[in-house]
Amino acid sequence: MNPRTPFQSSLTQTRKLGPISVRKIFGTEMIAVSGIDLVTEVHDETRFGKYVGHHLAPLRPIIGDGLITVETDHPNWRLAHDILMPGFTREAMQGYHSVMLTVIRELLDRWDGAADSGRTVNVTDDTTRLALETIGRAGFGYRFGSFDRRMPHPFVSAMNRTLQYANWSTVPPLARLVRPLLLRSGAVMTRIVDDVIRARQDGARTGANDLLDLMLNATHPKTGHRLDPDNIRQQVITFIVAGHETTSGAMAFALHYLTQNPDVLARAKAEVDAVWGDADNPEPAYADIAKLRYVRAVLDESLRLWPTAPGYLRVARKDTVLGGRYRIRKGQWVLVVLPLVQRDPQVWADPERFDPDRFAPGRAKNRAHAYKPFGTGQRACIGRQFALHEAVLALGMILHRYDLTPEKDYRLRISESITLKPRGFRLSLGKRAASSRLQDVDTELIRRSA
């Protein structure tokens, strides 16, 4: 196992071993499931539940009972989940839309400068800036200044170190060595978040209708309980980290696959142009995002091939048998290997091929358990709609504004922390003329008529 890429370095072996396998890593047994029949059983909430340990355990000293690290039977999970659910309603999403739009325009300003000067852009770095700035402002009224700084914000530097150390901590011989570094980086994030919370309590952005407002002021609809101060801090760090890591990677993977598939790219551009016309600076409405169905399909297909959160753990609620022959003891956990589940040839024809039409209307029947990039069951990602709206809006505006050219001979390489992202992926940008948008609109209309 390569400690820098532990997930990828085990993926080939897991594929060869078949739909279920077990390996022993420094005395710890890990059962991996990747066949759709077995995964469907593992998703049965009466037999299995979410297991937080192993890959997320190293984060607990920093984010404690955050939504991604607390066990389901702990009171803090239900309390925080129910208090924060109103932050992801349709009404709340409409309020976030303008914030997302503002941050995307800052990205476009940065990319305009690169296009004018002939410079390439590092896609993953910039989608990370975009997603981080969006969750910071929309969720907590905090500006990281991601597009203004030469050096990363101290929170960002500490967060990146924390995620890398957490990844290395899953390899037992490294865990003790990196723990002091992990705690030191976590302390930096904690101090910054405490300052943000203190400023809000002292009257900054009074009346803000965001996630921090819910954390500080909302009560549980049934019990009337509030989040305690320690848990508020833990939830803020959780949302900033989890709320940008997966989204930024998803956007970067989508742009990679778009630039590797010219027909897909042309069709996505035509769809965007049909919605926003030839204006250089359109004003996308919230309702426009639902019209970008093919762009959404591109994002979905990218997440099928490379889910940015590439797996999750499920723990047996009782002694059980998978597939009629594999005994799993109560309390034993299994890893669902998403890149293999989402490539299972029983479900996906020609599974390695990039084909957004897999997600065309009516095509999703009978594969509910074969596509789970946001997790499963009651512990599925609470911010899924936030992430999807942000990503489709950003991809649409990028496609409307630029012609995208990847570096010659680039081959997809993937970096790992607790998520997966493209590494070294750069694009050249050319500003699109209004005439090219009109031409693409005409092409789309002809295609639809055909």
8 A C-beta contact, residue 417 and residue 245: yes
Look at residue 168 in the predicted model and tell me its pLDDT.
Answer: 78
Contacts of 83 (CB under 8 A, 6+ apart): 214, 215, 218, 219, 220, 226, 227
Residue 172 pLDDT exceeds 80? no
How does strand 333-337 pair with strand 28-33? parallel
8 A C-beta contact, residue 227 and residue 79: yes
Better-predicted residue by pLDDT, 172 or 336: 336
Taking only the tens place, the pLDDT of each residue in 360-417 is 988 877 788 999 999 999 999 999 999 999 999 999 999 999 999 999 989 999 998 8
Q: Which of 381, 386, 419, 425 is catalytic?
A: 381
Residue 15 pLDDT exceeds 80? yes
Q: What's the burial of 3, exposed, middle or buried (CB within 10 Å: 0-12/13-18/19+)?
A: middle
For residue 207, what pLDDT band results from cuts at 50, 70 and 90? low
The strand pairing partners of 337, in sequence order, are: 311
Look at residue 213 in the predicted model and tell me its pLDDT.
Answer: 94
Look at residue 449 in the predicted model and tell me its pLDDT.
Answer: 37
Q: What is the CATH number assigned to the segment(s) 6-449? A: 1.10.630.10
For residue 446, what pLDDT band results from cuts at 50, 70 and 90? very low
The three-class DSSP label of residue 194 is: helix
The strand pairing partners of 420, in sequence order, are: 416
Look at residue 167 in the predicted model and tell me its pLDDT.
Answer: 76
Q: Measure the CA dihedral 212/215/221/225, to 10°.
A: -160
Taking only the tens place, the pLDDT of each residue in 30-73 is 999 999 999 999 999 999 999 987 777 888 888 999 999 999 99
Q: What is the mean pLDDT of residues 172-188?
A: 87
Q: Which of 246, 259, 308, 320 is catalytic?
A: 246
Distance between CA atoms of residues 35 and 326, nearest Å: 13
Can 374 be counted among the known catalytic residues? yes
| Residue 381 is assigned to a ligand binding site | yes
Look at residue 362 in the predicted model and tell me its pLDDT.
Answer: 85
Q: Where are the domains of the chain?
A: 6-449
Element (H, E) at 189: helix 172-201
Residue 434 pLDDT exceeds 90? no
Q: What is the mean pLDDT of residues 422-450?
A: 72
Contacts of 450 (CB under 8 A, 6+ apart): none
Distance between CA atoms of residues 163 and 182, nearest Å: 8
At 383, list the tokens.
Answer: 């911010």
Taking only the tens place, the pLDDT of each residue in 121-145 is 999 999 999 999 999 999 999 999 9
Can 246 be counted among the known catalytic residues? yes
Can 381 be counted among the known catalytic residues? yes
**Percent of the chain residues topping a pLDDT of 90:** 74
Residue 448 pLDDT exceeds 80? no
Better-predicted residue by pLDDT, 202 or 101: 101
Look at residue 19 in the predicted model and tell me its pLDDT.
Answer: 96
Residue 450 pLDDT exceeds 50? no
Taking only the tens place, the pLDDT of each residue in 279-333 is 888 999 999 999 999 999 999 999 999 999 999 999 999 999 999 999 999 999 9
**Average confidence score pLDDT of the chain:** 91
The three-point CA angle 229-232-235 to 5° equals 155
